[in-house]
Chain A
Amino acid sequence: MNPAVHLDGITKRFPGVVANDDVDLAVERGSVHALLGENGAGKTTLMNVLYGLYQPTEGTVRLDGEPQSFDSPRDAIDAGVGMIHQHFMLVDPMTVWENVVLGNEPKTWGGLRVDREAAREAVVELSERYGFDVDPDATIADISVGEQQRVEILKALYRGADVLIMDEPTAVLTPQEVDELYGVFDELTEQGKTIIFISHKLGEALSAADDITVLRDGVNVGTVAAADVTREELAEMMVGREVLMDPATSPQEAGDRVLEVTDLDVEDDRGVEAVSDLSFELRGGEILGVAGVDGNGQSQLVEAITGLREAASGDVRYRGESMVGKTRRDRIDRGMAFIPEDRQERGLVMSYDLVENGILGSQHDPPFANGGRLDWNASRDHAEAVIEQYDVRPPDADAEAESLSGGNQQKFIVGREFERDPELVVATHPTRGVDIGSTEFLHDRLLELRAEGKAVLLVSSKLDEVQGLSDRLAVMHEGEFTGIVDPATVTEEEIGLLMAGESLDDDSVEGAAIHDAAGGGTDDTPGDGSDGADDASRDGIDGATGGDEGVDA
């Protein structure tokens, strides 16, 4: 029997990027298949090919063995493929049944009236068949995210979907809703539906899927049965081994306490708690890396520290001073540098040239401003200095930011922020989208800052980066640090587990530093004696921060 979905040698190229490279994927009817991978691994692109949003550069999409050629999602829907996007395609002020039948409304009175009764009946019938508990007359805006997701599923089913693609289905759900979703999966597959879901969470793939395909850098690393694979194996498949960085960090005494975060709670735009009760501290001459899958509260944490978002509760102390109620401007003035993750939206004004961008954040401060007047000569000198020192190309201060490549934009931002002579640098994904040469350069600059005794908070989803640069490595999951570990000794598997929300206090995991993080005692690994002093100093810090954060409830 043919698989329900067979992606046969799919290659999708975008100008300058190969998003999918000869990917094969076969999904059996009535099974749940997880498509696992890091951000940017090509999962979403592959599913957009299956959903008709993209046409593959090479390769064939087959449903039940029949080759398909989708020009648009419309074709895919007609062929029985339904997609549930991560951001739901629902009309908030309309009711559940209105959303389900939108575009395919049953009509009466010669089309003059939507047959509300028939539509409601169809919705009720569908939700009963699959055991959904959804009120057809509720307004979308009033129901929970989990219920909204079920409405999206109903929408696909109403249109006759046999194959359901779900993009990060648990990203927005509470743990209880996740369990309910798994129940929905069971109901659907029992009735012959096929489910493919995109995820970057190991645990989720293992518990919900029958089979797991891991994508990395657009390539299918392998398909395994969920029953036959361990977390560790999956983590390794997912992360792979990129260019190993030299452990460039040299031992160094930690300096004064620069940043102290206590019981911090931060909410995201929707008012959902994104950072929960987080505490840590950061000293001068230290790099604290924050690893974790994107969307686990890193952005909100960083925004709360840098003054772009108000914390719901808790305290952020910077050099002994509480930052509660302090504006972004106050924090810039006190020497906080910030490399934002969305450089084209926040870090640079895209239509400004580099002279103008060079003073973003310093526009009220000397030498760029004197009595409210901007000194463009000083600004130009500054921009040119940054361009030269940070090797921004083209070396033209009059070039508009939008004309620069991503890597050069980033180098300019990094240069501008570092030249502020900050006490604290908050760097989020500083090398995302940056070529290898520039990456190394930026890494060296971060280490120089550390050597100068500055404090660095480094948030990155690149494991090798945070591991290679940090003195301590915190792993963030669902708004909490699941562990603060010694990057020199921790293994990638262990990080993978922490990223998946597991704690490391069971003895099956080897690696000494982990216990340090939790306990704060000294525990030198044999053969690592040269770093002993370093470890000890780190351990002291770890102890002070209360590594108990690491214990996940």
Chain B
Amino acid sequence: MSDPNPDADGDPSVFARVVAPFVDRSVAERLVISVAAIFLSILVGFALVLVSGRIAECSTAAWTMPITGLGFCYNPFEVYVVLFNGALGYPFAVGDPGLFNPGWTPFNLSFGLTLSETTLLIFTGLSVAVAFRAGLFNIGTQGQLVVGALATALTVLALAPLLPAGPVAGLVLIVVGTAAGAVGGGLWGAIPGALKAYADANEVITTIMLNFVAANVAYVLVLEVFRAEGSSVVATRYVPEYAQFPSVLFPASTDFALIALLVGVAFIGALYYFVEHTSLGYDLRTSGVQAAAAEYGGVNAKLTTVRAMTLSGALGGIGGSVWVLMSEGRWMASIPDLGFDGITVSILAGNNPIGVLPAAFLFGILKGGALEIGFRTDVPTELVAVLRGLIILFVAMPEFFRMIGRYAGVGGAGGAGSTKPDESAGGDGGEADA
């Protein structure tokens, strides 16, 4: 045995160490933890609904607890039934005879809204995931999305008058607009990347700051320069209808375009291919899991950092393009928290591009279902926001599930945990496995 030498010479940054366990965990274990985290969040949400249902005041109890006879204002079972069933447009017949609702088609309003959210979350989820794979924590996807969205809206608005209206012009505008979004977001993402690589500035803080800067500057720009005349909100003009993703099959009010979803899925495939099957992808993920080995393998760490953040920003920017060209039709000040949801999606997906698809869909369901909860129950829709936070919290603590697994003696999480006995001691430099 060699003398222990706890002092890691090539001391990686604090955040690389922090991020390492999230990049490098076996796929199976990640899956188990993600699923367990979702269930645990639902369970806590259940309790929350129950407790607040007891506290809230209402004339008739929505649900009476068996045996105890206590009445509750909210029915926690109903909430989840409405959440999941409603997000899909009620395919399941609840309360009526028969399991399926005979009148259901997939092309309904609710499901369209769910898929619309899913589409946007695919891009922001990929954005966060690609940075994570390079060992970088990009909290700035939100800002990159804001910038990308504005770049798209302004580009399309500027180019539209130059082209004859029509489907061809629409296609050109969509492609060019999306490219503009990618460039805008990419440049915005390159800033923290370059600051990290060449000035050693912590990307977590710079990206949070740049989120605020992006939101504020874009707001002022639109307010002062690009505001649509007569608009009561701070927003640009609408881009022409033909330059928006068309809502084929789904009702136009869903703001959902199947094409955009397919583009998103294509991006998932492309990013997966990039990470797993290209030399640059190899450089990127090797930097993420084991920076010292990447350096040994000839990877330029600084350049990889800038590249990863630029790519991440570009994906966030494309998310913004899709938001403009599919959902909103214009840039407006109240941009939803898609970037932050992207963090949840990515973490839930284990930062695996393929995993982003189910994770984004799940989140799409939560967000689509939230609307249904608002329609159909008295439970506040903010429940879904709470669930989002809880899911992140639980996914962030793999050790908790490993502990449970160990107590249970068996089970995926426990088994996976016990194969890495030295993980708990891996605080110092991650030389063994991280």
Contacts and interface: CB of A to CB of B under 8 A. Distances in A.
Q: Do A and B bind?
A: yes
Contact of A347 (B279, B293, B300): B293
A17 B282 contact: no
A161 to B, nearest CB: 22
Contacts of A40: 1-3
B1 A17 contact: yes
Contacts of A356: 282
A345 B4 contact: no
A27 interface: no
Given A87-B6, A327-B298, A345 B282 contact: no
B200 interface: no
Contacts of B294: 349
B289 interface: yes
Interface string B1-39: 111101101110000000000001000000000000000
A374 interface: yes
Contacts of B432: 344, 350, 402
A74 interface: no
A507 interface: no
A350 B290 contact: yes
A44 B277 contact: no
A359 interface: yes
A87 B4 CA distance: 11
Nearest to B430: A345
B433 interface: yes
A87 B10 CA distance: 15
A361 B3 contact: no
B298 A361 contact: yes
Most buried by B among A45, A340, A350, A372: A350
Interface string B408-434: 000000000000000000000101111
B3 A340 contact: no
A139 B229 CA distance: 63
Contacts of A308: 295-296
Given A17-B1, A373-B277, A269 B9 contact: yes
Contacts of B10: 269, 345
Contacts of B278: 372-374
Contacts of A342: 292, 431
B293 A39 contact: no
B341 interface: no
Interface in A43-68: 43-45
B279 A363 contact: yes
B286 interface: yes
A349 B290 CA distance: 6
A369 interface: yes
A344 B431 contact: yes
A267 to B, nearest CB: 12
Given A87-B6, A363-B279, A374-B277, A329 B300 contact: yes
Contacts of B298: 327-329, 332-333, 361, 363-364
A364 B284 CA distance: 13
Interface size class of A (residues with CB under 8 A): 35 or more
Interface string B257-300: 00000000000000000000111111100100110111111111
A372 B293 contact: no
B7 A87 contact: yes
A94 B102 CA distance: 73
A372 B274 CA distance: 10
Interface in A316-364: 327-329, 332-333, 338, 340, 342, 344-352, 356, 359-361, 363-364
Contacts of B292: 342, 345-346
Given A269-B9, A342-B431, A376-B277, A361 B1 contact: no
Interface string A175-208: 0000000000000000000000000000000000
Contacts of A87: 6-7
Contacts of B277: 373-374, 376
Contacts of A333: 298
A348 B283 CA distance: 14
Interface in A440-470: none
A348 B431 CA distance: 11
A332 B289 CA distance: 21
Interface string B338-380: 0000000000000000000000000000000000000000000
A369 B297 contact: no
B1 A19 contact: yes
Contacts of A359: 282
A43 B10 CA distance: 25
A168 B211 CA distance: 50
A268 B10 CA distance: 10
Contacts of A352: 286, 289
A348 B278 CA distance: 19
Interface string A80-97: 000000010000000000
A103 to B, nearest CB: 20
**Which of B1, B277, B289 is packed against the most chain A CB atoms within 10 Å?**
B1
A19 B290 CA distance: 30
Contacts of A340: 296
A109 interface: no
Nearest to A364: B279
B293 A348 contact: yes
Interface-centre pick from A268, A359, A363, A374 (highest chain B CB count, 10 A): A363
B290 A345 contact: yes
Contacts of A338: 296
B279 A360 contact: no
B293 A351 contact: no
Contacts of B431: 342, 344-345
Contact of A351 (B24, B281, B429): B24
B289 A351 contact: yes
A229 B433 CA distance: 45
A388 B434 CA distance: 29
B48 to A, nearest CB: 37
B276 to A, nearest CB: 8
B1 to A, nearest CB: 5
Contacts of B6: 87
Best-buried of B7, B280, B292 by chain A (most CB within 10 Å): B292
Interface string B297-336: 1111000000000000000000000000000000000000
A518 B299 CA distance: 41
B403 to A, nearest CB: 22
B301 to A, nearest CB: 10
Contact of A345 (B2, B281, B293): B293
B293 A349 contact: yes
A366 B280 CA distance: 14
B416 to A, nearest CB: 13
B289 A349 contact: yes
Contact of B300 (A268, A327, A432): A327
B17 to A, nearest CB: 13
Given A363-B279, A369-B279, A373-B277, A346 B1 contact: no
B282 A347 contact: no
Contacts of B429: 345
Contacts of A332: 297-298
A39 B3 contact: yes
Contacts of B4: 44
A359 B278 CA distance: 12
Given A14-B1, A373-B278, 7 more contacts: A308-B295, A308-B296, A344-B432, A349-B293, A350-B432, A361-B297, A376-B277
30 contacts: A14-B1, A39-B2, A44-B3, A87-B6, A87-B7, A269-B9, A269-B10, A308-B296, A328-B295, A328-B296, A338-B296, A340-B296, A342-B431, A344-B431, A345-B290, A346-B295, A347-B293, A349-B293, A350-B432, A351-B290, A351-B433, A351-B434, A352-B286, A359-B282, A361-B296, A363-B283, A369-B279, A373-B279, A374-B278, A432-B2
Interface of A: 14, 17, 19, 39-40, 43-45, 87, 268-269, 308, 327-329, 332-333, 338, 340, 342, 344-352, 356, 359-361, 363-364, 369, 372-374, 376, 402, 432-433
Closest 7 CB pairs of A and B: A329-B298, A346-B296, A360-B297, A361-B297, A363-B282, A369-B279, A345-B431
